[in-house]
Structure 1
Amino acid sequence: MTLSVELSEEIISKVEKSRVLYNERKFNEGLDLLTACVHLKPDDALLLFEQACFLYQLGQFDQSIKALERSINITPNSRNHSFLGSILADLGKPSEAAFHYLQAFKFNPSNTYCAYAMAYNGDYDVNGEEYQIIHAALQRNAQQPIDYARLNMALGKIHLKNKDVPGALSFFHTGKKISENFSNYDLSADTLRTQKIISAFKALEYEEMPTSTASNNSTRVALIFGLPRSGTTLLETMLNSHADIQGIGESKLLSSSLEHLAHQFNEEMFQIEHLTKCTAQDWKNSGQQMIGQVNYYGKRWIVDKQLFNYVWLGCAQKLNPDSVFIDIRRNP
C-alpha cells in the first residue's frame, strides 16, 4: 500500500519498520510505531487502517473497529470497509458486517469475495438494490472464473434466504460447475492428512482428559461441527437465543489460536509436525489467547459453528480443556 506523499520522512520510516515487524509477527512493537504515527498524523486513513491490522492481531477488536471507522470517515474505500466487515462477521454481527461488505463491493466491484460475504451475512430481497448490484456484476464479461462462481453463489444464497429453492439451486449449480474447473481440492490428500493427525495424537503421551475447572463467571467455548446441511446453523441459531450464549458463526477462533501456536515455530500455519513440538506451556499460552478473543463478547458461552473444526478437535481440547464439542450428523 502506497503511503501519502504528505507524510514526513519520520512517519514513513516508522511505517516501513512496522510492516517488517508485522511480517515477523511482532505485533506489540509494530503497534507502538503505528500508534506514534497516528498521533503525529491523526487524519491519515491508511495509517489508521494499518493500526487496525495490528490491533486486530492482538485481539483488541473494539479498538480495531474504532480505527477502521475513523479511516472510513476520512477516506472510505473497499479495503477498509472489507476489513471492518470481516471483523464484524467474526464477532457475530452479520447485519453490520453485510453493510460494510456491500460498501466494499460498491467501491470495487471486482472484489467478488465481498459480494458473497455480503449475501452470506445479510438478508436481501431478490428484487432489492443489493441483489441487482450483484446481478449486474454477473452480467459483465470481464469476470474471471472464480469471480463468476462467487457471484453465482452469492445470488443463490439470496434466493435461498428468500425460500426460493429452485432459483437458489440454479445459481448454486452454475457456481459449483464453474468452481470445479479451478478447484484443486483433493479428497485423497484430505484423507491422508486426517490419518496423519490421528497417528500423531496416538504417538503422543496424551494425558487423560482434564476435569473442567471453569468457574460460573468464566467464558466457555462450544464448537459445533458436522457436514453441510446437517443442521449446524439451526442449532447455533437456537442456542444464540439464550441470554448467556453468543453465536459467532463460522469464525476463525480455532484456526487463529493454532496460528498463534505456529508463530512460536516461526511458521504461518499450524502443521501436523508441530504437535510433537508443543509444550504444555505452549498450549496454555495459545489457549489463553483463544479465551482472550471470546471474552470480548461478555457472555457465559460462545458457540462457534465452523464445520471443519473436527479436523483439529484434539488441539481444541489441548488449548482449552473446558471446551464442549457438539457433533451433528444428518440422518439419513
Structure 2
Amino acid sequence: MSNPPDKLPMSDEEIAALKGSESFDEGDVLPGGFPVSTEELTIVKAELATSYPEQLNYLTDAYILSVASKPYSKDTSVRRPLEYTIQKLENLLKWREESGAVEVFGILELSRKSVSQARKEGCSDAEYDKAVKLANTLNTNSVYVHGYDVEGRPVIWLRCNRKPWMIPDVAAEVSLYILVSDFAIAMMPEGVTDFVVVSDSSSPPPPSPSFLVSTLKGVVKGYPDRLKMLHSAPMGSIMTTVMNLLVPLMPGTLGSKLHLMQEKTEMCAALAEVLAGGVEDIPTFFGGGCDHDRFYPQEGIGREQDVEALGDGVLMFDFAGMRDRQLAMKEAFEEKK
C-alpha cells in the first residue's frame, strides 16, 4: 500500500492558471450578482458562436447571465468585465472538446451494445474499450443524481466507499464525473444554473494524484460557477488528506463552497435543511429513511430497474431509471413553484 502524496504533481504555472484571477483573500465579502443587459447577453453568445457554434446550445441564457453577473475579483464592487466572461466561457467550451466531454453520452450509448453489435456498426475496438471502461465505473453505483435541494438544484451523490481501492483508469473515472455533471445540468429546472454535491466519505480509496488533478481542472475549467455547495461527511484521515491537497490549489470562491463535517449526524441535520423533501429525502446511509440502494445497489442491478433498458452491452447502471425518476421529481418541484 503506497503512502498518500505530500503534494500534487502540478507546476507553479498550472496552479496559477487554476487559481486565476478568482482567488479572494480571507475576509473578502462578495456582493450579489450584478445586472446584465439583453444586448450584453447577445454579444457574449455571438462571440461564442463564432468559435464554438456546435456547442453553444450547451450554455443556457440563465447560465451565461449567472457567469456574467458575478463580481470581479480585482474589484468586488463591480461586475466582471464582459471580455472576462467571454474568455471564461470560451475556456469552458475548449476544455469540453479537449477532455472528450462532448462525446461522453455517445460512449454511454455504445456501452449498451454487445461487442459484436458495435463492430457491425463500424465501431473500433479502441472505441468499444472506452465504453466498457466507462460502464465499469458507472456499474459501481458510486456516483449518481437523485433529487433536488430546496432551490431546485439537482443533487449529485458520491458514495466513496464504493470506489475501487486503486483507480484502475483515471480517464474513465473523469468521464464518469463529466457524464453525471452534464446529466445534472440537463435536469435543472428553468432558471437554475448550479448543482449540489453530497458525499458519503466513509472509507474512500487512497488519493490518486492524477485523478485529483484531472478532477480539479475539470471543476475549475469545465464547470465554473456550477457548484453551489459540496457537503461531505465523515471527514476521516484520507478525506482530510485529499482536502489538504486540493484546497490550496482552488480559487478562493470554490474553497468557500466546501461544507466538511466530522460526523454523519451533522450531515443528517444539514440535509434536513438542504433537500427539497427535508427529512423524508435523507438517505439511509446518513440515518434517514430514503433507500437509494433499491435503485443504486452496492453490486449488480437495482430491484426496481428496467432491465430491458440496459441493452446487450456491459452497462448495469440504471441510467434510464435515473433519468425517469429525476424528470418526475423535476416536474413535482416545478408544480410547487
- Look at both structures and tell me which one has the larger radius of gyration over its CA atoms: 1
* Coarse TM-score class (shorter-chain normalised): under 0.3
- Structure showing the higher strand proportion among its residues: 2
Q: Give TM-score, length-normalised by structure 1.
A: 0.26
Report which of the two has the higher share of helix.
1
* TM-score normalised by structure 2 residue count: 0.25
